[in-house]
Amino acid sequence: MSDAVFRSEADAAEVLQEYRAVLGHWPVPRQEIELPTSQGATFVLACGPETAPPVLLLHGAQANNAAWLPDVALWSSRFRLYAVDMIGEAGFSARVRPPLIGDSHATWLDDVFAGLGLGQAALIGTSLGGWLALDYAMRRPSRASALALICPAGIGRQKNFLLAVAPYLLLGAWGKRKILEKVFGPAPEQLPADLAAISGLMASIGRAIKPRTIKIPRLSDAALEAFAMPILAIAGGRDALIDSYDTRARLKQHAPHAEICFIEEGYHFLPDQSQRVFDFLVSSQERHGT
């Protein structure tokens, strides 16, 4: 049977072994949970005080929970974090990719909420995880106490990235570096320690995974207007995957209560947002008692 996620079983084994090693750098005590769901097993990392307000973390495509290494030390100081390996991605959750259109992912997250014993939680999502948070909040508004979205898909127009970078695919290693720069920005001379721990893993995932090539559903104007929970959206003006100017314009028009942080020179990868997200979560909790 063909693997929906990895190019081969050998690729999968290599990436997951590397992922396991990277999790050894998790900066705070953690609990590993495997939940049965309608889409198969789902892997969750829990950390932070068990009685603290719950926050669900949803990473982006071609990633896993290692993406949160730079953030969890701060966030878990005040919140109970549940970092979820998204199904159909390069983590320990089921290698299935149900359609993004429809309620398959919302039903899956229903099972995650139930398995964790949660009635409501704040959601933090980046890129495809941002779409997942938005889609769930649209379908289950009582479950989402707040939304913190980093370069979220599902609001602004999705760009044709593959078409834009096609010429670089013919230019060998130099071309691959230019493609990475379009997504992540110019590489620093020396990565911070927390990013250095995951950069090799991300490179391995890029070589091993089958990229999603589908169009991500966009929320309607009416869906955005129906959101009542606090929203933080962080977007980069040089995002190569999503029209962040469209994201900003639609939120201003249809969700005017949303707090928008627009980083003109930012790319699709926006590091150093831990404090901004933390401050938003704290203020949302204090304002709404959640």
pLDDT value of residue 140: 98
Q: In this predicted structure, what is the pLDDT of residue 213? A: 82
Please give the helix or strand (H or E) that residue 254 lies within, else none. helix 244-254
The per-residue DSSP string of 36-48 comes to --TTS-EEEEEES
Could you give the CA distance from residue 98 to residue 108 in angstroms, rounded to a whole number? 10
Length of the chain, please?
290
Residue 177 belongs to a domain: no
Q: Quote the tokens at residue 57.
A: 């973390």
pLDDT at residue 171, rounded to an integer: 53
Task: List, in order, residues 6 or more apart from 101 with CB less than 8 Å away.
Answer: 217
Provide the residue type at 138 as one letter: M
Residue 123's H or E segment, with its range, is strand 121-126
Model pLDDT, residue 159? 86
- Is 95:88 a contact under the CB 8 Å cutoff? yes
Nearest of 11, 64, 42 to residue 3 by alpha carbon: 11
128-138: burial string, b at 16+ Cβ within 10 Å, e else: bbbbbbbbbbb
3-state SS assignment for residue 54: strand
Average pLDDT, integer, range 238-263: 96
Does some domain include residue 80? yes
Average pLDDT over residues 38-62: 97
Distance between CA atoms of residues 133 and 206, nearest Å: 24
What mean pLDDT comes out for the span 223-248? Answer: 96
| CA atoms of 154 and 214, how far apart (whole Å) | 13
CA atoms of 274 and 279, how far apart (whole Å): 9
Reported as a pLDDT band with limits 50, 70 and 90, residue 173 is low
pLDDT score at 175: 56
pLDDT value at residue 136: 98
Q: Write down the pLDDT at residue 59.
A: 98
As a whole number, mean pLDDT of residues 172-197 equals 68
Does residue 44 form part of some domain?
yes
Round to whole Å and give the CA distance between 94 and 149. Answer: 24
Q: What is the mean pLDDT of residues 266-277?
A: 94
Domain range spanning residue 232?
9-160+192-288
pLDDT, tens only, 57-70: 999 999 999 999 99
pLDDT at residue number 255: 98
Q: pLDDT, tens digit, for every residue of 139-170?
A: 999 999 999 999 999 999 998 766 555 554 55
Band the pLDDT of 6: cuts 50, 70, 90.
very high
In whole numbers, what is the pLDDT of the chain averaged over residues?
Answer: 91
Spatial distance between the Cα atoms of 201 and 53, rounded to a whole number of angstroms: 30
Q: What is the mean pLDDT of residues 194-212?
A: 87
Task: Establish if 182 belongs to a structural domain.
Answer: no
Q: Is 133 helix (H, G, I), strand (E, B) or coil?
A: helix
Which CATH number does the domain housing residue 118 bear? 3.40.50.1820
Q: Is residue 145 part of a domain?
A: yes
Indicate whether 133 belongs to any domain. yes
What whole-number distance in Å separates Cα of residue 90 and Cα of residue 65?
9
CA distances from 230 to 27, 76, 222, 227, 258 (A): 28, 20, 17, 8, 7
Give me the pLDDT at residue 190, please. 72
CB 276 within 8 A of CB 262: no
Q: Are 140 and 106 in contact (CB under 8 A)?
A: yes
The token pair at 240 is: 């190569």
Total tally of structural domains belonging to the chain: 1
Banded pLDDT at 91 (limits 50, 70, 90): very high
CB 106 within 8 A of CB 136: yes
Per-residue confidence band for 199, with pLDDT thresholds at 50, 70 and 90: confident
Query: Is residue 187 included in any domain, yes or no?
Result: no
Residue 88: per-residue pLDDT: 97
Q: Is residue 154 part of a domain?
A: yes
Calpha distance 137→209 (Å, rounded): 28
E strand or H helix that includes residue 245: helix 244-254
